[in-house]
């Protein structure tokens, strides 16, 4: 569990590993669909139905929908199991990045699987479902993803989806708790290997 001091540092100086979807002529992913799970693109009805009792998620998801982001969710019965969000071209940069960095690309961000549903491959399949949505709407999408240096769990799934390492992003922000987080300096070293920041990497 990060300390308060470390959390503050991370808000001001953020380092992320960048990934780029490498397929030149993408084909839709085949989903291992199981009857107990349903894949959906997140809309207001989904937010109101599955996140009504979780005020943070409801408020946050309603906000990013208005920004033009697109999200996908896996549900089981009346519960959500996993979600993932993607910044779309033309919409504002996600928190921790800057408009100068994101450009006109899609950026996969903010994915999470409920602990009760982990170990079922839903994280990977939900990202594949969202990628299928993007491929359906744009023939040659430019798609990136970012992960924290200390979170290596998503790397296998990203590689399975066809993402490749694409350098390291560093962003310095002016951060006032609960009021603002404004990135004013950003660099993207596209040639820097991820292994230089991952502890224990060969």
- The residue among 171 and 74 whose pLDDT is bigger is 74
Residue 201 within a domain: no
Residue 155 within a domain: yes
Range from 11-20, 40-49, 191-200 carrying the lowest mean pLDDT: 191-200
Residue 93 within a domain: yes
Residue 173 within a domain: yes
- The residue among 14 and 81 whose pLDDT is bigger is 81
Query: Of the ranges 16-25, 126-135, 143-152, which is most confident?
Result: 126-135
pLDDT computed for residue 185 by the predictor? 86
Residue 185 within a domain: yes
Average pLDDT value for residue range 53-80: 96
* Alpha carbons 78 and 38: distance in angstroms, whole number: 11
How much of the chain, in percent, has pLDDT values that exceed 90? Answer: 62
Number of separate domains in the chain: 1
Residue 70 within a domain: yes
Contact predicate 132/28, CB 8 Å? yes
**What pLDDT digit, counting tens, does each position of 135-191 carry?**
999 888 999 999 988 888 889 999 999 999 999 999 887 777 666 666 778 899 998
Q: Which domain holds residue 143?
A: 4-196
Query: Of the ranges 64-68, 191-195, 198-202, which is most confident?
Result: 64-68
| Distance from chain centroid for Cα 58 | 17
157: domain CATH number is 3.40.630.30
pLDDT computed for residue 133 by the predictor? 95
pLDDT computed for residue 148 by the predictor? 87
Residue 164 within a domain: yes
**What pLDDT digit, counting tens, does each position of 105-126 carry?**
999 988 999 999 999 999 999 9
Residue 174 within a domain: yes
pLDDT computed for residue 115 by the predictor? 96
């Amino acid at each position: 569990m990060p300390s308060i001091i470390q959390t503050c540092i991370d808000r001001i100086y953020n380092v992320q590993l960048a990934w780029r979807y490498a397929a030149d002529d993408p084909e839709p992913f085949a989903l291992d669909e199981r009857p107990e799970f349903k894949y959906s693109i997140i809309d207001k009805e989904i937010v109101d139905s599955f996140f009504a009792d979780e005020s943070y998620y409801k408020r946050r998801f309603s906000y990013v929908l208005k920004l033009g982001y697109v999200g996908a969710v896996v549900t089981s019965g009346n519960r959500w199991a996993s979600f993932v969000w993607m910044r779309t071209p033309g919409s504002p940069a996600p928190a921790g990045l800057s408009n100068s960095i994101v450009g006109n690309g899609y950026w996969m961000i903010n994915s999470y699987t409920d602990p009760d549903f982990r170990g079922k491959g839903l994280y990977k399949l939900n990202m594949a479902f969202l990628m299928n949505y993007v491929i359906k709407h744009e023939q040659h999408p430019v798609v990136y993803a970012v992960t924290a240096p200390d979170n290596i769990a998503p790397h296998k799934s990203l590689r399975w989806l066809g993402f490749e390492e694409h350098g390291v992003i560093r962003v310095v922000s002016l951060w006032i708790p609960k009021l603002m987080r404004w990135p004013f300096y950003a660099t993207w070293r596209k040639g820097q290997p991820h292994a230089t920041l991952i502890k224990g990497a060969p």
